[in-house]
Amino acid sequence: MQNALQVLSDSGVLQTILMAVLTAVVIPLIQQGHKSAKTKKVSNMYDVLDKLAEGAVAKLATQYDLPTGVKHDQALQTIQVQLAKKGIKSIDNKDIDFAIEKAYQYFTSLNTKAQAKRAVIDEGAANADSVSATKVDAAAIQNAVAPVAEAGQATEPTGYGSKQAEIDNLQAAIEKAQAKLAELQGSDPNA
């Protein structure tokens, strides 16, 4: 066997065989291991990014008074700071935006306490708007009828059956108030 290796070595065949094995087997294995390590490192960085985005979105979801754009900007800044603390600098803002959107989609697909609370707040706001609109309408009608009441007329317009009846009543009250004003101005030359 030693004799055979000596003959192969002297003829250069052994070097050719070793080079073939090296280029065909060993170098690709080393390259694959290097790519695998890079892929694993990148995968770990994006896993960290996803976790940070979920945390930032969950925290900001409870701040109902902030507009969505402000929440997004705060989440972006928070994630950038956390990534810098962890020494991750190769993730750009576009990838962070995608992670924030992914986390937002995840949380909106869940039935969370924050979503239930938000629904109650939205319902309360809608009810408040409705009550406010009703009170504003009542105040406007009262203000339009007040001059007529001062002139000795009834304080409550009649015929609230429809919007047109309200309009007719208000028009009549305005005409009566204008007539009374013209009468008062006509009797007093200084008015």
The pTM is what? 0.45
What pLDDT is stored for residue 146 in this prediction? 55
Residue in this structure with the two tokens 């294995």, named with its chain if needed: 29
Report pLDDT for 135.
61
Place of tokens 């960085």: 45
Coil vs helix vs strand at 182: helix
Q: Where are the alpha helices (DSSP H) in 61-112?
A: 68-85, 93-109
The distance between the two most distant Cα atoms of the chain, rounded to a whole number of Å, is 143
Per-residue pLDDT, 159? 45
> Quick count: other Cβ atoms within 10 Å of Cβ 107?
15
- Say what the pLDDT of residue 185 is: 72
pLDDT number for residue 84:
92
Q: Which mean pLDDT values do the consecutive 10-residue runs of the chain (191 residues) have? A: 71 77 74 73 88 91 84 92 90 90 80 70 76 62 55 48 78 84 68 49
Between CA 79 and CA 18 the distance in angstroms is 51
**Location of structure tokens 């007040």:** 146
